[in-house]
Amino acid sequence: MREAGPCLFRAVVLPTLCTMILLTGCGGSGGSGSTQPPPVQSTITSVTVSPSAPTVQLKATQSFQATVTGTGNYSSSVQWSVGGITGGNAKLGTISSAGVYTAPASPPNPNTVTVTAVSTQDSTKSGSSQTQIGPQPFDITGIQLTPRTATVNTGWSQQFTAVVEGTGSFDTSVSFSVNGVSGGNSTVGSIDSHGLYIAPATLPQSSSVSVTVASVAAPDVSVGAAVTLTQSTSAAPVIKQLVPATADAEQQIQILGSGFNAGGQTTSTTVVVFTGPHGLSIPVELFGGSNNDQERDVAVPLGASDGPIYVIVQDSLGPALKSNTIQFTRTPRIRIRAPQHDLSSGESTTFAWKQLAGAQPITLQWTADKGSVASDGVYTAPSALTSDSFAVVKACVQGTTSCDQERLGLHPFRVSPDTPTVTPGSNLQLQAILGSSMISPTWSSSGPGTLGSGGLYTSSSQFADAGGIPFTATSGAASESGTLQVTGQFPGLVNRISDYFNEQEAHVYGTFPTAIGVANNRLYVNSSYGYYSFALAGDAYPALAYLRDVDVYDISDPSHPIWIDAFEPLTSGKPLYCDGMLYQYAYTEGSYASGSLTVYDISGKSPVPTQHFSLQPSKGHSRNGAASISGCTIAEFGGATGDQRTVSAGLNAPLVLHQLQAGGVVDAQYSIPIPSNSTGIAGFFGFMSDGKRLFVNLVAADGKANLQLLTYDLTASTPTLLDSISTDQLSIDSFQLVGNLLFGTIDTGSYYPRTKVYDVSGNTPQFLTQLPTGYIEGASGTDVFAWTAGTGPRVIDISNPQKPVLKTDLFAYNEGTSDMTNSGHYLFAADSNSGVGVWDARTPGGLLPTELIPDDYENAVPTGIISNASDLFVASDTIGGGSLARFDLKQSPPAQTSQVFQSNVAPSSLALSGSTLYEGTATSLGVFDVSASGDPTSITSIDMPVAALAVTGTTLLAGTFDNHLIVYNISQPQSPKQIASVSLAAAPYQIVISGNLAIIADDTGGLLTYNISNPSTPTLLSKVTLFPEVFGVAIDGNLALLAAREYGLVILDISNPAAPSLLGRAAVDTVDPFTTYPLMYNKAFAIAVKNQIAWIGIHNLDDDPDAPSEGGSEVMGFDYRDPSHPRLVSRNSYGPSYTFVWTLADSPAGLICGCSSSLLALDTTQPLNTIGSFELPEPLRSSQKASSVSPSLSARSVASPAAGRVRSDLSTRLRQLHLQSHTGANALPPDRSSGETPLAKN
């Protein structure tokens, strides 16, 4: 019974439990059974919710999981709530019993809500998640309304300004109401979305009204202002007449009436409000006072439509006054485009057209200067064309002078497709079209691959065979040429959008794109062109204005854009694509100080403007600072003092962010604390913001302080300076953020581009590297695309973010490029008067440059370059003398180990023999010992004006500026001994030794070949003349490759050195494909060969001291495996148009370029980067000597890279080269009139 007592006790206290125990634990006999432990009590210990801090977009869902822990047999079920409301609601979002949260349609305020899971077993146990609705956190705390009280006369206006306050990034837009009526009414007065209140014309029953402003993002946050209405004693402005009442965009009109200077106040500001498309208004603010109370002049803004306009006059001492409205009619504008830009004899095409402005239906009148065009826009080419020419087709709005035109290429027959593109190892069928029929011409090609007799081209699969393949189709007396483009092996230009027009009939213009952007599979090109507007009464001359339109291209096939639409923009700036919408932004617009921002819906066939913002100083947006765009964040910062952008040191500077998101614009304003300095003023350069941080390049105005890169945290309640590091002067609009990499381009006026890269993943930017690129314009995957003024697109590989490297260098024809964008790895550039260039950048390629001297080299020209296995020596002509530099080739990149400066010395050339270096200058031949590292040691010097040097064995050849070839025995390097002297026709530029031959590029003296088997008696074997000049020569076996000025690359067979024969040539064309200016035509100056590619350096010898056009430090590479048809396969530029290449030399470190602005090592491991060549057609181009033109190629043809153009007066003389002496067995008969032997034919 020992067990009974406790059991009975338990039975008294817990009868039910005791009953259970008696049944299980008290039975049995003799107390031999064991005692079972009591069960664990069921309890809840915790509830956790995951994810703990997610970000959920509007209307999106998020699944939450509740983890319940406890003891015993506990329940894991929970009850969900949002913001303390079970199941949530429409304002905060709802949550299901399964934990699936659905965000609301609009964000709550604040936009972080608490999602809670409460245990159903124990309501004291819960877990929660702080969930952010939308991309950025915010908390709107209030609105500052100015003024809070106002007295307004009837018919007058009062401007209210509302600033929404809070933390984070949020929609700062507000809504206004009067006496509870949204927007007010005619009884109590009206108020627009910008806060302009217009008092009623008569006093209402109660003269007190209330103006209320509420946050759109948080309507429960509002504030009111008390307005007292009084009977007006001053008249509002009155518009009586518009002159003219019908006008085009940018055309000046006069607004005539009264009351335009607010009762005689010259401090008044006038805002003219035009009707815009789709119900939008376009305000134009006129700054500065006027004594004229009866007139205001204004330029019609872009996007203005038919409809009423009115003016608002605001005096700084009084209220705003709104005028009556008057009807304005917009001159219709049109855009015409032909789907086929090149036509054969008798072929037709139907023009498409788009009305850009004007609300009334219009009728077009069509004309053409050649061929015929019907009233429905169907153009038909002349039926019997014998040569290539052009037709200008024009359409004008009937009854107006508003016209558009397009230039079409006319051909006896044409080749289809217009831009033939094929992948390696594939087939492409070329077709010849005459009218509506196919013809069968004779096909020929001088490049790799095979072109069959039926026009079927089969491309080679070999890497080196890709790029541009020249072809010709011949039918009777007519022929058409072009380039087959084999793409996919290496990058290059694959197309160019060039719509020719000639508005004033005085010059040929291409399309002038100013800004460019991509959205989905559409390319948006913002273009402008000049026209003479109507003169106002009393004006002696009409004003030059600029019309703009945005052309829209389908880029489903990026290499073949197709025009599909056009529209007149409301903003003249860059098209931006953000959150499914198209935006355009301009910091300042036209001749006015205000800027603008427009939002377009691009979900339909044509873009539709949905919002237009006028960014005006009177609204608190400073317009005398600067702006930067990075991604979908626009930052406006600072102000200006004179020409320099400045902020006040020790005070706060204004920062305005426009964040383009959710189909609208979210604005935020900040006050940025600027560090103090001794002057109280600080100049700023590059800056950008991603909405969370601000990066600013700052320097004291006195120039004594180092340039700094400052980083600010914008997420704090007050912007906080995180850190400051030393840096260079970085260009005002060059900052771009890609991931955690900040790019900024050095802005010091240098010829050579340099961009710094920083890791900004932490609070302090960490410098990573400096790259030879310009502004960053886009990215795709791990590639970043940069545009370098004067050079072209470049691609940076950031697959290893800590080691960004240059991977691709592409070529653009001129330095007028204003903008670039990308669709994947296809690049599109607004290429000035060259139209829009299209590059395929899917693969790496190009001569990638490494700058050997990192500092500016703009005052030095490398004139002599020589190397051995371990050292590179460079002689340079500098201001006041010369320099001799040495680089260690064992390091990568080569490191400069010494530099000797030489006063009053002008170096011209170098030669190396073992450990002895020879330097030719304008006054001497210097001999140096370079056996030891460090500075070369001078051994001796000989007075002699040396122009060129070459060494072989113990023989040194020196060409002199006084036209001699002098031979030295250098068996004793310390004392060269002259053993021969030969007179030359000119001072040589280069001497090359091949076996027993000395081959001399003798400028105007031609190409000279000497036998130097006996160095003491050099024997002239041949003299090739009648080139304008021969500047450079390179030897490859039996080939002599020449840099021959206008003739470009010339290849001679010198297997019989006494009778060289011409094999082939390739012109080097122009630095700008749309040029008609003779000095822009390139000239071959320097040459080097490597791996059967002839590298030509360009120097145009333009002696214009004001604006020389020297070729842009351009280096062109020609594949000469087939020497009779050298083919352009690489083209690179390393500076603006006024720079040039003086010398090229092969070395273990790559191709060394001695440019007028830099010393570069060019990587030749993957140098190919040229596919197509798109240039101004021959009928539109001037010859180099005269203004005449000789029609040849079509408006849209792809010019053969090897079939460049030379001066018309030289073209018939190319094969009339002559020899000075002996005639070869297959030479032509002597030309008796010249006394020389003609060049042998091959």
Distance separating alpha carbons of residues 862 and 910, to the nearest angstrom = 11
Please give the pLDDT value at position 1037.
Answer: 97
Interior/surface letters 527-560, b for 16+ CB within 10 angstroms, e for the rest: bbeebebbeeeeeeeeeebbbbbbbbbebeebbb
Distance separating alpha carbons of residues 790 and 974, to the nearest angstrom = 46
- Non-local CB neighbours of 394 within 8 Å, separated by 6+ positions: 366, 367, 368, 403, 404, 405
Please give the pLDDT value at position 262.
Answer: 59
- Bridge-based pairing of strands 492-497 and 836-840 is antiparallel
Q: CATH code for 51-133?
A: 2.60.40.1080
What superfamily does domain 414-489 belong to in CATH? Immunoglobulins (2.60.40.10)
Q: List phi, psi (to 5°) of 618.
A: -70, -15
Tell me how far CA of residue 157 lies from CA of 191, 204, 314, 619, 779, in angstroms. 9, 16, 9, 16, 49
Q: CATH code for 333-411?
A: 2.60.40.10
CATH 1.10.3720.10, applies to 850-1219: no
Beta strands in 189-332 (DSSP E): 189-191, 196-198, 208-215, 222-230, 238-243, 246-247, 252-258, 269-275, 281-286, 295-299, 307-314, 320-322, 326-330
Nearest CA to 61 out of 129, 133, 7 is that of 133
DSSP calls for 1059-1102: S-EEEEEE---BSSTT---GGGB--EEEEEEETTEEEEEE----
Q: Which residues of the chain have pLDDT under 50?
A: 1-33, 288, 503-509, 531-545, 618-622, 856, 1182-1242
Q: Extract long-range pairs of 75-80: CB within 8 Å, 24+ residues apart.
A: 75/44, 75/119, 75/120, 75/121, 77/119, 77/120, 77/121, 78/47, 78/117, 78/118, 78/119, 78/120, 79/117, 79/118, 79/120, 80/115, 80/116, 80/117
Please give the pLDDT value at position 622.
Answer: 45
- Residues forming beta bridges with residue 368, ordered by sequence position: 393
Same fold, 333-411 and 414-489: yes
- Non-local CB neighbours of 735 within 8 Å, separated by 6+ positions: 628, 630, 686, 687, 688, 695, 697, 742, 743, 744
Do 452 and 418 meet the contact criterion of CB atoms below 8 Å apart? no
Tens of pLDDT along 1078-1123? 556 789 999 999 999 999 999 987 766 666 678 888 999 999 999 9
Give, for 16, the enclosing helix (H) or strand (E).
helix 15-25
- Residues forming beta bridges with residue 715, ordered by sequence position: none
Q: List phi, psi (to 5°) of 950.
A: -155, 150
Q: CATH code for 138-230?
A: 2.60.40.1080
* Cα 637 off chain centre by: 22
Q: Residue 458 is encoded by which pair of tokens?
A: 């089969």
Tell me how far CA of residue 1167 lies from CA of 299, 1057, 1094, 1125, in angstroms. 51, 32, 12, 19
10 Å Cβ neighbour count for 561? 24
Q: Residue 635 is encoded by which pair of tokens?
A: 């930052």
Domain boundaries, the chain: 1-29, 51-133, 138-230, 238-330, 333-411, 414-489, 850-1219
Q: Which residue has the tokens 């009334």?
A: 360
DSSP 8-state code for residue 427? E
Using DSSP, state whether 235 is helix, strand or coil: coil
Q: What is the pTM of this model?
A: 0.80
Tens of pLDDT along 491-535? 999 999 877 555 444 444 456 788 999 999 999 999 876 544 343
- Non-local CB neighbours of 262 within 8 Å, separated by 6+ positions: 268, 313, 314, 315, 318, 321
- Residues forming beta bridges with residue 150, ordered by sequence position: 227
Give, for 7, the enclosing helix (H) or strand (E).
helix 4-13
Distance separating alpha carbons of residues 644 and 636, to the nearest angstrom = 15
Do 961 and 945 meet the contact criterion of CB atoms below 8 Å apart? yes
Please give the pLDDT value at position 287.
Answer: 57
Q: Residue 460 is encoded by which pair of tokens?
A: 């080679």
Distance separating alpha carbons of residues 340 and 416, to the nearest angstrom = 11
Q: Extract long-range pairs of 527-532: CB within 8 Å, 24+ residues apart.
A: 527/551, 528/572, 529/501, 529/503, 530/503, 531/503, 532/504
Beta strands in 259-377 (DSSP E): 269-275, 281-286, 295-299, 307-314, 320-322, 326-330, 333-337, 342-344, 348-350, 352-357, 364-368, 372-373
CATH top-level class for 238-330?
Answer: mainly beta
Length of the chain: 1242
